């Protein structure tokens, strides 16, 4: 699961950017493309009873909470028995409007639109015990079903149609900002971009570990590099295997430990960072920050504290 908790006191960015043409949109244009998060989900979680228990709870941005009584709580073993110390796979779309999960009564993968509507994936999507993760695109229109012992699959949610399969040995990392492309990994720090149908677009080794985020151009990957005052965001071209842009990010020193847990393209010239502060502290607090690559400035999209007795959680992008 992509657990992404955080607190952030202050953040400053200094950079002199020579951005590729695709990223030179004005800040107002980026803001206009940012999806509304009013009454959208922040995250989903189970209760902590020593092991995960209860029903999946969707915590909304307006402070309300929704239950998913039809969602499976625990994954199944190869013998079909619940694995009590783990939570079943679940995923939230980046805009917080859709949740993907395994339905308890029949093991079918479904996508629930929190505004109304349910999309049921085909019965052969995969036995519930073989589904290890579910990942939705920013708008929830595409679904990746990560398999434990088979190639990962990509579905169009509206039609419930299988549109592509990743080559065996390639592991799903994330969707591009527009959901039209897929980022995958094979081996250590080797990244591949594919169309949703599985056609290879670009490939390169990268110098750093994730989190990674793929731009809608299908070739530019963003990731973090360095630590403390040497931390920066790097835009890497998978087609050339070279760094395009470096954005220096200074995070103030705290007694606690900060970490960027998630990185997503939420507009063409905008990255969203989920920053975790003090991984040992409970309850967990999170800040979601928007980095405008054209102006080199951060704005705060949201701040919240994860409910005290939550077991893990899956956050929106």
Nearest-CA neighbor of 215 among 38, 5, 25?
25
Q: Is 80 exceeded by the pLDDT of residue 53?
A: yes
pLDDT at position 18 is 41
Sorted by sequence, the CB contacts under 8 Å of residue 253 that are 6+ apart come out as 228, 229
Q: Are 14 and 245 in contact (CB under 8 A)?
A: no
pLDDT at position 212 is 97
Q: Calculate the alpha carbon distances from 74 to 83, 101, 143, 222, 291 in Å.
A: 6, 11, 20, 33, 36
Report the mean per-residue pLDDT for the chain.
Answer: 84
Strand partners, 212: 223
pTM of structure: 0.86
As a whole number of angstroms, the distance between CA 15 and CA 200 comes to 33
Classify each residue of 279-317 as buried b or exposed e, where b means 16 or more C-beta atoms within 10 Å of its C-beta: eeeeebbbbbbbbbbbebebeebbebebbeebbbbbbbb
Percent of the chain exceeding pLDDT 90 equals: 59
Express each pLDDT in 120-159 by its tens digit: 999 988 776 789 999 999 999 999 999 988 999 999 999 9
pLDDT at position 9 is 31
Domains of the chain: 1-35+177-312 (no CATH), 38-137+139-166 (2.130.10.10)
pLDDT at position 170 is 96
pLDDT at position 185 is 98
Nearest-CA neighbor of 159 among 132, 141, 135, 180?
141
Q: Is 60 exceeded by the pLDDT of residue 14?
A: no
Q: Is 90 exceeded by the pLDDT of residue 30?
A: no
Express each pLDDT in 185-196 by its tens digit: 999 999 999 999
Nearest-CA neighbor of 273 among 315, 242, 310?
315
pLDDT at position 299 is 85
As a whole number of angstroms, the distance between CA 66 and CA 209 comes to 35
Q: Write phi, then psi, for 194 (nearest 5 degrees).
A: -130, 160
Taking phi over 0 as left and psi of -120 to 50 as alpha, with beta for the rest, 178 belongs to alpha
Question: What is the number of residues in the chain?
Answer: 317
Express each pLDDT in 233-290 by its tens digit: 899 999 999 998 887 765 544 445 677 889 999 887 899 988 876 666 777 888 888 8
Question: What six digits make up the tokens of 57?
Answer: 């709870």
């Amino acid at each position: 699961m992509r657990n992404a908790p955080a607190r952030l006191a202050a953040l400053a960015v200094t950079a002199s950017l020579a951005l590729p043409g695709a990223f030179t949109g004005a800040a107002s244009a980026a803001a206009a493309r940012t999806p509304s998060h009013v009454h959208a989900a922040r995250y989903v979680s189970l209760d902590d009873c020593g092991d995960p228990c209860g029903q999946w709870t969707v915590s909304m941005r307006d402070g309300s909470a929704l239950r998913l009584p039809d969602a499976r709580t625990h994954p199944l073993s190869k013998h079909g028995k619940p694995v009590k110390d783990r939570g079943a796979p679940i995923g939230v779309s980046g805009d917080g409007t859709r949740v993907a999960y395994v339905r308890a009564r029949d093991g079918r993968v479904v996508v629930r639109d929190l505004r109304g509507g349910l999309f049921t994936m085909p019965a052969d999507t995969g036995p519930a015990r073989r589904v290890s993760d579910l990942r939705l695109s920013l708008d929830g229109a595409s679904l990746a079903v990560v398999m434990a012992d088979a190639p990962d699959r990509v579905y169009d949610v509206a039609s419930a149609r299988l549109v592509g399969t990743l080559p065996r040995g390639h592991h799903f990392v994330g969707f591009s900002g527009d959901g039209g492309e897929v980022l995958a990994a094979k081996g250590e720090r080797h990244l591949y971009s594919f169309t949703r149908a599985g056609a290879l677009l670009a490939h390169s080794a990268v110098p750093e570990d994730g989190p990674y985020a793929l731009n809608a151009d299908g070739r530019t990957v963003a990731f973090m590099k360095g630590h403390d005052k040497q931390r920066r965001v790097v835009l890497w071209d998978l087609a050339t295997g070279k760094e395009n842009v470096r954005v220096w990010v200074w995070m103030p020193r705290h007694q606690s430990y900060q970490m960027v847990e998630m990185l997503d393209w939420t507009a063409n010239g905008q990255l969203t960072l989920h920053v975790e502060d003090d991984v040992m502290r409970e309850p967990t607090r999170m800040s979601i920050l928007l980095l405008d690559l054209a102006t080199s400035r951060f704005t705060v999209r949201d701040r919240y504290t994860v409910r005290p007795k939550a077991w893990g959680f899956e956050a929106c992008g």
